[in-house]
Structure 1
C-alpha cells in the first residue's frame, strides 16, 4: 500500500509530493516536446496535415504550434510560469483536438481526440496546484 503523499518523509527539504509534481510536469511536457521536435524536423509533412484541415495561414499555424509545443514543453520541465504555460498548453490541446481530431468515427482520431482532452485535464491539475517546490516558480 502506498502511503499518502501528505505524510511523506522529507528529504533535503522536499517531500515526495515535490518529486511527484516534477515528474508530472516532465511527463506531460514530453508529448509536447516530441511533437514540436517532430514538426520542426519534418515541416513539410506537418504543413501538409495542417493544409488538409483548411486552416488559414498554415505556415503561421505550423510556426505557432512548434513554438507553443517546444517553448511550453521546456517551460513545464523547468517549472517556469507553470500555471500560465499549463493554461496555454491546455487550450492548445483542446483546440487541436477539435480542429484536427474531431472525426470520432475514425478510431485513430477518436484516440487522439481523447488523448488531447486527457492532456488538458492533466494540465488543469498543474494550473490548480502549481509546479511544486522543485520549480523555477518556487525559486522566485
Structure 2
C-alpha cells in the first residue's frame, strides 16, 4: 500500500509538514511544564521532595532546563535526535520516579502517558526532524 503525499509548495512534502507538526505537539507538554515550574518553583520542589528524591532544588533546575530548553530546541529542530533522546529518557525517568503507584488509576494513566511520549520521541530519534529544522542548515 502506497500513501500519496501532496505538496504544500514545490519541494515540500506532507511528511515534512507532519514532522514539524509532530515536533511542535510533542514539545508542547514539555514547554508548558517547564514554564509552570518557573512560575511556581516551590510547588515543584515540594513535589520532588515528597517523592523522596535528593536535592530537590537541583532536580527543579534540571527539569526546567530539560523541559523548557529541550522543548524549545525540539520545536526549532536544533540537535533534534539528541534532544529527542534526552526528552525520551527524561519521560521514562519521571514516569518511574513520580508515577510508579500503578494501582492508582491516575498514576497508571500518567505513567503510560510518559511511556507513550517516550515512544513518540524515539520516532524522532529514528527518523530525524524533517525538512523544517535548524538541523537542515
**What TM-score do you get using the length of structure 2 for normalisation?**
0.96
**Pair 1:9-2:6 in alignment:** yes
Give 1:8 shift: 1.2
Name the residue aligned to 2:29: 31
Name the residue aligned to 1:93: 91
Out of 37, 42, 45, the residue aligned to residue 44 of structure 1 is 42
Name the residue aligned to 1:57: 55
Query: What is the CA deviation profile of residues 20-75 of structure 1, one whole-angstrom value per residue up to 9, with x for unaligned ones?
Result: 00000000000000100011101011111001011111100011001100000000
Give 1:13 shift: 1.4
Residue ranges of structure 1 left out of the alignment (5+ in a row): none
Name the residue aligned to 2:70: 72
RMSD: 1.0
Instruction: Work out the number of aligned pairs and report it.
Output: 135
In structure 2, C-alpha distance between the alignment counterparts of 1:66 and 1:113, rounded to whole Å = 20
In structure 2, C-alpha distance between the alignment counterparts of 1:133 and 1:12, rounded to whole Å = 13
Give 1:132 shift: 0.2
**What TM-score do you get using the length of structure 1 for normalisation?**
0.94
In structure 2, C-alpha distance between the alignment counterparts of 1:29 and 1:82, rounded to whole Å = 11
Give 1:12 shift: 3.2
Give 1:97 shift: 0.2
Residue ranges of structure 2 left out of the alignment (5+ in a row): none
